[in-house]
Structure 1
Amino acid sequence: MPLDHRRLQGPEDSQPPELWAARPADGGGEEEEGGAAPRDPCALRPLFARAGLLSQAEGSAYVELSGGTKVLCAAWGPRDAAEPGGAVGAGRLLCEFRRAPFCSRGARPRPGGAAERDAEREAAAALREALEPAVRLARYPRARLTVSVMLLQDGGSALAAAISAASLALADAGVEMYDLAVGCALCRDGSAAGPWVLQPGEAEERGSAARLTVALLPALNQVSAVLGGGRGGAPEGWGRALRLGVEGCQRLYPALRHCLLRAARRRDGA
């Protein structure tokens, strides 16, 4: 039988790739993350942030959380958005949230499908709700500010990381702001008496009964957004979660400010 020399001929016998995959020393796998030793629920995951990465955008920022969450954000504006004969009013903030096709493990909605579009639209609306109180839109009448967030990897607390990255990108673009909007996420497991966990990972969020994302303007001590839902127990439990989230935002604030200072020094040195 003649061979097709234009194709790569595979071997006659093949074996599954699992046979050659490296196995962890303890014999566990990624599926057993939920059985790992519990961490301190009040401990923050290490955060890495850098501003001024993209030369094509007027402002940009990258935020990464230990555990795999990676967010890249770009900001443009202010740009003229006036309509002929329109009234003069405050500027507008437009937010876009997109998920990379490879951002999460396992099955995901069909790219471009209705479910994914609805999730991205909901995340963009939450992002705008958290950022608008921090931006001095009255200083940009008849103008448009645009923020575009790309979730490169979803390792949990993605919306909170996106809020912090978008705030850094706007500040890096020179937009006048009252303060940085800092995001912090929390979740609670299935038991209503369980503790709230700061900055949960993907496995912790997947098994949670309630989630909460807090956005804070630390210098003003003003909460710009509270987003969440689920079965979190009594109202007192939600109050404790809110106080814990505010405290987490205040602890993250110095790292984000230091990131902006480093970006300003790099820009001045260039």
Structure 2
Amino acid sequence: MPLDHRRLRGPDESQPPALWAAGAEEDEAGAGEGEAAAAPRDPCALRPLFARAGLLSQAEGSAYVELSGGTKVLCAAWGPREAAEPGGTAAAGGGRLACEFRRAPFSGRGARPRPGGAAEREAEREAAAALREALEPAVRLARYPRARLAVSALLLQDGGSALAAAVSAASLALADAGVEMYDLAVGCALCRDPGDPAGPWLLQPGEAEERRAAARLTLALLPALNQVSAVLGGGRGGDPEGWGQALRLGLDGCHRLYPVLRQSLLRAARRRDAAHSA
């Protein structure tokens, strides 16, 4: 019988890919639990952050923020443009800031809401509202009367502290677009372990830590002005002193992240100047 060279001959015995995928997930989960048990997490330690501004040529301003552990957010900013249609929120005599938050279909592992479903749309709408609340105090909207600024955040991978990373990335994108701002808005997230209601708060929790957390807190800070632009929290965090401790820890985390974002913005400005002078 002649051989068919147009086809690749497969093995005589094969197994469904889902079988090996399930085993890989179990091995990864077991390895993660073993590492967590062997090396306890320092609650005050910040996850390493990588930020880069000005990497999208199709947008007036852009930024990419990645946290160690897998969180990846890409933001783009446009404007100011004439506000031909109503939308966003307007300051007195100022412009409008419209924010969009979307999750990539491949952003999360495991079970997630159906893409495009009502639950996912509602979650994205709430995240966009929180993003706008955190950014509005940082932007000088009064300098853009009857104008519209737009920010779009795309969550490429959710490894925890996604909203906080989106706040930092969106602030960088606005600054990269040349929008007048009072200061960069720096986001930081915290959570509390349900096994110890009186235990310490964890800075920049991972996705697994957020999923089992008894309480969560996300705040945005304008470090140069020492002004909190947004606070979003909920859960069983203990007494008011516990929430106060979380706020102090989060403010300290924002101040420590601020130099990284500023350096990213300065590097983008130098690259732009070098490209124009070449």
Instruction: Report matched runs for 1:178-193 at 5 Å.
Output: 178-190=182-194, 191-193=196-198
Q: Which residue of 2 aligns with 1:53?
A: 55
Q: Which residue of 1 aligns with 2:15?
A: 15
Q: Distance in 1 between matches of 2:174 and 2:30?
A: 38
1:6/1:46 Cα in 2 relative to 1: closer, same or farther (>3 Å)? same
Q: Distance in 1 between matches of 2:138 and 2:232?
A: 16
1:20/1:137 Cα in 2 relative to 1: closer, same or farther (>3 Å)? closer
Displacement after TM superposition at 1:28 (Å): 4.8
Give the one of 80, 83, 88 matched to 2:82: 80
1:44 has 2:60 as partner: no
Q: Distance in 1 between matches of 2:20 and 2:132?
A: 48
Give the one of 133, 139, 142 matched to 1:138: 142
Return structure 1 stretches of 4+ with deviation > 2 angstroms.
Answer: 5-13, 15-24, 27-35
Q: Which residue of 2 aligns with 1:162?
A: 166
TM-score normalised over the length of structure 2: 0.88
Give the one of 51, 65, 68 matched to 1:63: 65
1:202 has 2:207 as partner: yes
Judge which range, 75-84 or 188-197, deviates more.
75-84
8 Å contact kept, 1:34–1:204: no
Give the one of 241, 248, 262 matched to 1:243: 248
1:141/1:19 Cα in 2 relative to 1: closer, same or farther (>3 Å)? closer
Q: Distance in 2 between matches of 1:131 and 1:23?
A: 40
8 Å contact kept, 1:33–1:203: no
1:106-138 CA distances to partner (integer Å, 9 max, x unpaired)? 111111000000000000000000000000000
Displacement after TM superposition at 1:6 (Å): 10
Q: Which residue of 1 aligns with 2:89?
A: none
TM-score normalised over the length of structure 1: 0.90
Amino acid at match of 1:153: Q
Displacement after TM superposition at 1:29 (Å): 2.5
Displacement after TM superposition at 1:10 (Å): 5.8
8 Å contact kept, 1:77–1:144: yes
Amino acid at match of 1:38: P
Displacement after TM superposition at 1:194 (Å): 1.4
1:235-268 CA distances to partner (integer Å, 9 max, x unpaired)? 0000000000000000000000000000000000
Q: Distance in 1 between matches of 2:186 and 2:269?
A: 19
1:54/1:9 Cα in 2 relative to 1: closer, same or farther (>3 Å)? same
1:234/1:269 Cα in 2 relative to 1: closer, same or farther (>3 Å)? same
1:142/1:154 Cα in 2 relative to 1: closer, same or farther (>3 Å)? same
1:47/1:7 Cα in 2 relative to 1: closer, same or farther (>3 Å)? same
Percent identical pairs in the alignment equals 83
1:29 has 2:31 as partner: no
Q: Distance in 2 between matches of 1:31 and 1:118?
A: 33
Q: Which residue of 1 aligns with 2:106?
A: 102
Displacement after TM superposition at 1:16 (Å): 4.8
Classify the secondary structure of the residue corresponding to 2:202: strand
8 Å contact kept, 1:97–1:149: yes
1:225/1:21 Cα in 2 relative to 1: closer, same or farther (>3 Å)? closer
CA RMSD across the alignment = 2.5
8 Å contact kept, 1:52–1:61: yes
